[in-house]
């Protein structure tokens, strides 16, 4: 059986499983559609939240970004796990006690203002849509590869599948489906990593393999994997893998943006409304992180090991020997992956100096310029290596059996689909439940609400697909922008709503608006207005940026602005009414939490 058929088989089988579960547990009423009747056990909920949370950004994109940058991109690892500490300590138990369906309902009630609720809904829609753009980038890569078509066609087909999938069921269907998706995606991520770790270090646990010695026996004897990696990448003029090359300010702010954003994203917070008790909300955040950590502890190993494998494939005779020849790439079996990925347009090479070999090195490095001149090289010849393909290509690069490759294709799709579905649900509930039913047309029937929810989904996915054709960055980078937006708008309002009795309606609204507008404008100034390429006023680099802060890191500054504005405005306006102080008081203690709240 060839690889294409095998991929189809694995992807097809996994889809049949999810759809089967969705049909079996199909959402009936609106209450089930949004929050699954609050009957989900913390461990089950944790697993489903992990699947919901770990998207194309975590599965497909993150290890690639770490592989090509090394230590500097540790921010993704710390940021996307550290946010759960904030969530567990500062938000989850209180929001569960409050006991409503959506995040914006809490903001509307706590700040006793329909305007606050509206602003929160707008913040959620902007952050979630940006998030879906990142997912669509990943969906395009995954579908492009496994159907062996261009990235663009992959994206369009993927968009249809995501839409059909999200419309199929509400969260109840999705909860159990997502448990299945978690199992598929974690197996797909770890199995190839275990194989590769065994190949390179002899250690079956990739997280330990990363810090182990390599099994390769040569003249050099056994060395640590990371030492070896540092050596070969610096030989080629690239920045060393383990050292820091980014300034501390940007790294801290970027990590912080991702952490705060994690705790401010609606589709994750919504999950904590579905556990039976307040104490379960605390455990649930922990269980979620356990299931996430299984992937996140493996990811840095995947990145480092793939970087080593790729570099060695390009330089089979060592970094001082001859580069791989074009002929070998065309014919040798272990280079087949390069030919398949070339079809997607995400990987390319060009024999610039016509010597029949592909020299892969950093042509921007001064030290390499000399070496290149001496050897007659005319620039880096591995001209395009899209970071987002690394994880999906990884088993092929390591020459693993066909079924592993098929499994990874299924896992990548599971990751992208589950999150895209979760986000579309959050967007649709924001539009139909908060915007229409809550504000504009309060008398809408349950049927009308479901219908408008589905229309909102269709619009959101259309916009995301359109922008996903020309994405503002690799999947994880686009997603990082969404986190910045959530960090600057939603998280501060939620936290102040629980931890302060003094922040009032005017303060919260001005804070959210200030944080959102500041962050959004800063991102657009660097990434282009509405992410349209070429409309940016500043280059998207640290040195060229407006305040010396990268657009991906600006969310943390936006959050500080939100807190500051809300505080100052609240202090200079009327104090909160007594019933709001009572509400805050009641949210703070678990006693008296409603079971399944009827709405």
Partner 1 sequence: MAEQSTNPDAKVARDGAGYWAANIRMIIISLVIWALVSFGFGILLRPLLAGIEVGGTDLGFWFAQQGSILVFLALIFFYAWRMNKLDKEYGVEE
Q: Are strands 357-358 and 324-325 parallel, antiparallel or unpaired?
A: antiparallel
Q: Choose one: 218-226, 365-373, 407-415, 536-544; the region binding partner 1 (CB under 8 A).
A: 218-226
3-class SS of residue 324: strand
3-class SS of residue 247: coil
Burial 468-501 (b: 16+ CB within 10 A, else e): beebbbbbbbbbbbbbbbbbbbbbbbbbbbbebb
Residue 224 lies near partner 1 (rule: CB under 8 A): yes
Residue 586 lies near partner 1 (rule: CB under 8 A): yes
State how far Cα 518 lies from the chain centre: 23
The CA distances from residue 332 to 10, 313, 315, 321, 329, in Å, are: 26, 11, 14, 19, 6
Residue 212 lies near partner 1 (rule: CB under 8 A): yes
| Closer residue to partner 1, CB minimum distance, 11 or 295 | 295
Question: In the range 455-474, which residues lie near partner 1 by CB under 8 A?
Answer: none
Burial 47-70 (b: 16+ CB within 10 A, else e): bbbbbbbbbbbbbbbbbbbbbbbb
From the list 118, 127, 251, 479, which residue makes contact with partner 1 (rule: CB under 8 A)? 251
Residue 392 lies near partner 1 (rule: CB under 8 A): no
| Closer residue to partner 1, CB minimum distance, 11 or 251 | 251
Residue 218 lies near partner 1 (rule: CB under 8 A): no
| Paired residues of 384 in beta bridges | 348
Residue 227 lies near partner 1 (rule: CB under 8 A): yes
Phi-psi region of 345 (alpha: psi -120 to 50; beta: other; left: phi over 0): left
Burial of 399 (0-12, 13-18, 19+ CB in 10 A): middle
Residue 500 lies near partner 1 (rule: CB under 8 A): no
Cβ of residue 211: shortest distance to partner 1, in angstroms?
Answer: 3
| Separation between Cα atoms, residue 84 and residue 492, nearest integer Å | 15
Residue 126 lies near partner 1 (rule: CB under 8 A): no
| Separation between Cα atoms, residue 380 and residue 581, nearest integer Å | 63
Q: Choose one: 274-282, 312-320, 515-523, 560-568; the region binding partner 1 (CB under 8 A).
A: 274-282
| Closer residue to partner 1, CB minimum distance, 63 or 461 | 63
Question: In the range 11-30, which residues lie near partner 1 by CB under 8 A?
Answer: none
Cβ of residue 221: shortest distance to partner 1, in angstroms?
Answer: 14
From the list 8, 187, 198, 277, which residue makes contact with partner 1 (rule: CB under 8 A)? 277
| Closer residue to partner 1, CB minimum distance, 100 or 352 | 100
| Separation between Cα atoms, residue 207 and residue 209, nearest integer Å | 6
Cβ of residue 132: shortest distance to partner 1, in angstroms?
Answer: 26
From the list 188, 263, 278, 513, which residue makes contact with partner 1 (rule: CB under 8 A)? 278
From the list 18, 84, 131, 360, which residue makes contact with partner 1 (rule: CB under 8 A)? 84
Residue 242 lies near partner 1 (rule: CB under 8 A): yes
Please name which of 11, 10, 24, 12 lies closest in space to residue 174, comparing C-alpha atoms.
24
Residue 282 lies near partner 1 (rule: CB under 8 A): yes
Residue 93 lies near partner 1 (rule: CB under 8 A): yes
Residue 245 lies near partner 1 (rule: CB under 8 A): no
| Separation between Cα atoms, residue 189 and residue 302, nearest integer Å | 9
| Closer residue to partner 1, CB minimum distance, 15 or 112 | 112
From the list 43, 205, 297, 332, which residue makes contact with partner 1 (rule: CB under 8 A)? 297
| Closer residue to partner 1, CB minimum distance, 279 or 365 | 279
- Which ranges of 500-592 would DSSP assign to H, the alpha helix? 505-527, 554-571, 578-588
Residue 309 C-beta-side C-alpha neighbours within 13 Å = 28
| Closer residue to partner 1, CB minimum distance, 81 or 519 | 81
The CA distances from residue 155 to 64, 170, 406, 464, 480, in Å, are: 20, 24, 19, 10, 20
From the list 14, 255, 418, 552, which residue makes contact with partner 1 (rule: CB under 8 A)? 255
Cβ of residue 143: shortest distance to partner 1, in angstroms?
Answer: 30
**H/E run at residue 467:** helix 446-468
From the list 13, 244, 451, 546, which residue makes contact with partner 1 (rule: CB under 8 A)? 244
Q: Choose one: 57-65, 252-260, 329-337, 343-351; the region binding partner 1 (CB under 8 A).
A: 252-260
Contact call for residues 88 and 82 (beta carbons, < 8 A): no
| Separation between Cα atoms, residue 251 and residue 242, nearest integer Å | 15
The CA distances from residue 546 to 296, 479, 552, in Å, are: 32, 21, 13
Cβ of residue 34: shortest distance to partner 1, in angstroms?
Answer: 16
Residue 360 lies near partner 1 (rule: CB under 8 A): no
Q: What angle do CA 191, 223, 404 make, to 5 degrees?
A: 15
Residue 286 lies near partner 1 (rule: CB under 8 A): yes
From the list 78, 161, 167, 187, which residue makes contact with partner 1 (rule: CB under 8 A)? 78
Interacting residues toward partner 1 by CB under 8 A: 71, 74, 77-78, 81-82, 84-85, 88-90, 93, 97, 99, 207, 210-213, 223-228, 230, 242, 244, 248, 251-252, 255-256, 259, 277-279, 282-283, 285-286, 289-290, 293, 296-297, 300, 579, 582-583, 585-586, 588-595, 597
């Amino acid at each position: 059986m060839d690889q294409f058929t095998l991929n189809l088989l694995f992807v097809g089988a996994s889809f049949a499983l999810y759809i089967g579960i969705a049909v079996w547990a199909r959402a009936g009423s609106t209450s089930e559609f949004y929050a699954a009747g609050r009957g989900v056990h913390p461990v089950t909920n944790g697993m489903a939240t992990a699947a919901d949370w770990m998207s194309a950004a975590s599965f497909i994109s993150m290890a690639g970004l770490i592989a090509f940058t090394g230590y500097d991109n540790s921010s993704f690892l710390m940021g996307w796990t550290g946010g759960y500490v904030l969530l567990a300590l500062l938000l989850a138990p209180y929001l569960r006690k409050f006991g409503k369906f959506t995040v914006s309902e809490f903001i509307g009630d706590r700040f006793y203002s329909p305007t606050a609720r509206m602003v929160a809904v707008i913040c959620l829609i902007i952050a979630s849509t940006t998030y879906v753009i990142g997912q669509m980038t990943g969906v395009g890569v995954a579908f492009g590869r496994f159907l062996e078509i261009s990235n663009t066609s992959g994206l369009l087909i993927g968009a249809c599948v995501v839409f059909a999938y999200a419309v199929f069921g509400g969260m109840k269907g999705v909860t159990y489906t997502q448990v299945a998706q978690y199992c598929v995606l974690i197996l797909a991520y770890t199995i190839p990593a275990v194989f590769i770790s065994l190949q390179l270090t002899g250690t079956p646990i990739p997280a330990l393999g990363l810090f182990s010695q390599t099994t390769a026996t040569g003249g050099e004897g056994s060395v640590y994997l990371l030492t070896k990696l540092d050596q070969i990448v610096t030989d080629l003029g690239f920045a060393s893998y383990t050292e820091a090359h980014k300034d501390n300010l940007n790294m801290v702010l970027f990590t912080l943006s991702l952490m705060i954003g994690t705790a401010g994203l609606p589709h994750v917070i919504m999950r904590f409304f579905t556990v039976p008790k307040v104490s379960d909300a605390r455990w649930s955040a922990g269980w979620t992180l356990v299931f996430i950590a299984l992937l996140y502890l493996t990811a840095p190993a995947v990145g480092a090991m793939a970087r080593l494998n790729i570099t060695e494939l390009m330089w089979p005779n060592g970094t001082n020997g001859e580069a791989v020849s074009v002929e070998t790439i065309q014919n040798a079996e272990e280079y087949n992956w390069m030919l398949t990925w070339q079809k997607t347009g995400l990987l390319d090479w060009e024999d610039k100096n016509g010597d029949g070999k592909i020299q892969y090195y950093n042509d921007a490095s001064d030290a390499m310029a000399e070496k290149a001149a001496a050897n007659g090289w005319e620039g880096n010849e591995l001209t395009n290596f899209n970071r987002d393909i690394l994880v999906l290509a990884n088993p092929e690069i390591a020459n693993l059996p066909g079924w592993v490759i098929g499994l990874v294709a299924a896992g990548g799709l599971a990751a992208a689909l589950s999150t895209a579905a979760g986000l579309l649900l959050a967007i649709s509930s924001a539009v139909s439940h908060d915007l229409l039913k809550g504000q504009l047309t309060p008398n809408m029937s349950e049927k009308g609400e479901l219908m408008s929810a589905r229309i909102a989904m269709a619009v959101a996915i259309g916009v995301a697909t359109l922008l996903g054709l020309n994405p503002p960055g690799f999947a994880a980078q686009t997603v990082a922008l969404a986190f910045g937006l959530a960090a600057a708008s939603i998280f501060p309002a939620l936290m102040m709503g629980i931890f302060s009795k003094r922040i009032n309606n005017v303060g919260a609204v001005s804070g959210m608006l200030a944080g959102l507008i500041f962050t959004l404008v800063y991102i657009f100034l660097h990434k282009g207005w509405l992410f349209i390429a070429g409309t940016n006023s500043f280059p998207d680099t640290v040195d060229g940026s407006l305040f010396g802060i990268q657009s991906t890191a600006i969310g943390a500054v936006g959050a500080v602005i939100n807190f500051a504005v809300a505080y100052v405005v609240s202090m200079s306006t009327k104090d909160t009414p007594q019933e709001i102080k009572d509400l805050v008081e009641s949210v703070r203690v678990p006693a008296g939490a409603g079971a399944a709240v009827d709405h």
